[in-house]
Structure 1
């Protein structure tokens, strides 16, 4: 098979390079197949439908119609679209995203697909409601705009998960703020109802799983930096 990273790989990449980043295309495969996506929102694997395919399949398999789910760190909405489709019209998705560039893309994708069961929360998820600073990486790169809570940067609203309805499932990928977010979800975790898919960053590799264990969660590693937390 021709490796796209080798010199002859340009033969594979060339058709994609000819597509404008502002073009709207149907997702070609995967759980979002057929949904409309802006080509330049994230990397090519989003509209190809192969983005984090193993994780996406595992999450989709656990989401049932009528569920309430949280997408914490929604980015441009790839997982949000998938979750919206899975929970159906009787379910609800809360999409949390602090980066304004990403929320604009997220809202665009909801509009393009006429999605009505998603509530966008334009805020950083931490251990308290209030305000903090959010530092963004303005170089979109191949994964789109990234950012994290910082001591300086753009002021953003902060929220606690405990101030929202207890969900059936949480997908969380927030660039190192996992410990803060879980600390602000003590009531929610004590309810022992929410399955959690957690991507770990920076100093959260030990602290975040420890918080889940304190609340009686079983931990199942599913990758180098991901885990499932399941209520006991």
Structure 2
């Protein structure tokens, strides 16, 4: 019964997307009542299985609803075809990685990035569980330039608060590379779609992908942009949207299962976006 109630509520939040963050907040609070040592394995949209821990907020969503960011996940799945290349940036426990790997098949490729040690451990185990031979896992961060950064590593209950920070108590040093450097190093000339969820550092990821976006632009970029997180990096959601638009992308709000073109000033209250390239454009 609790799952049925949660799924009914989920439909309501599709209709009123600005309220969705409250839904996640409530579920984040509920997740804190689960024991930290309770790991379970759950099916994921018919594309594989996931090891999760409901004490983590994202895992709790998957446990109650069958997926996290369900609408984005379904759209990513719909856009990927066998043989394509998908980048999962901010992979967490691997939900998008698993679904993406199933969609692109043996002839396709998935590249996943997750700097958090706890998250990367789950990502690695979930990759092995699903025999993701077409997937490359990277325990590094993507940013604007090569180097290192401080990364706050919270407890499992607070993984949603993982973020970059100046070095100090509670931080560890993580390697940072750029998307351009990574692609050049591996000889990657084409990315079909990307998902970027890096707690406010999305602009830094895009700035480090100037060559890719100018010369080999992915057809679709799914990304999260929340100003309360963006301000930690000195920019706004509007600036992130404008950067992508300067490369020829049309920025849409992901509202339920629909892409809705919305002028910049009317995007407030939303957090999930998809930047799309016109067919045939370079």
C-alpha deviation, 1:31, in angstroms = 5.0
Query: What is the TM-score of this pair, normalised by structure 1?
Result: 0.84
Tell me whether 1:220 sits opposite 2:236 in the alignment.
no
Please name the residue that 1:176 is paired with.
Answer: 200
Please name the residue that 1:231 is paired with.
Answer: 277
- State whether residues 91 and 112 of structure 2, in contact with CA within 8 Å, keep that contact through their aligned partners in structure 1: yes
C-alpha deviation, 1:116, in angstroms = 0.7
2:163 paired residue among 142, 148, 158: 148
- State whether residues 93 and 123 of structure 2, in contact with CA within 8 Å, keep that contact through their aligned partners in structure 1: yes
Aligned positions of 1:21-40 closer than 5 A: 21-23=38-40, 25-27=41-43, 30=45, 32=47, 34-40=48-54
CA distance in 1, matches of 2:195, 2:149: 22
The total of aligned residue pairs comes to: 218
- Partner SS for 1:116: coil
- Larger deviation: 74-83 or 158-167? 158-167
Runs of 4+ in 1 over 3 A off after TM superposition: 1-5, 38-42
CA distance in 2, matches of 1:63, 1:146: 30
CA distance in 1, matches of 2:66, 2:46: 7
- State whether residues 73 and 97 of structure 1, in contact with CA within 8 Å, keep that contact through their aligned partners in structure 2: yes
Please name the residue that 2:225 is paired with.
Answer: 200
The 3 A distance-change label for structure 1 pair 66 and 216 is same
- State whether residues 39 and 51 of structure 2, in contact with CA within 8 Å, keep that contact through their aligned partners in structure 1: no
- Partner SS for 1:45: helix
Please name the residue that 2:61 is paired with.
Answer: 45
In structure 2, list runs of 5 or more residues that go unmatched: 10-29, 231-235, 256-269
C-alpha deviation, 1:200, in angstroms = 0.7
Query: What is the TM-score of this pair, normalised by structure 2?
Result: 0.70
C-alpha deviation, 1:100, in angstroms = 1.0
C-alpha deviation, 1:193, in angstroms = 3.2
Please name the residue that 2:259 is paired with.
Answer: none
Tell me whether 1:189 sits opposite 2:222 in the alignment.
no
C-alpha deviation, 1:21, in angstroms = 1.9
Aligned positions of 1:40-189 closer than 5 A: 40=54, 42-47=58-63, 49-141=66-158, 144=159, 146-152=161-167, 153-163=171-181, 164=183, 165=188, 166-189=190-213
CA distance in 2, matches of 1:225, 1:26: 27
CA distance in 1, matches of 2:221, 2:84: 14
- Partner SS for 1:74: coil
In structure 1, list runs of 5 or more residues that go unmatched: 6-12
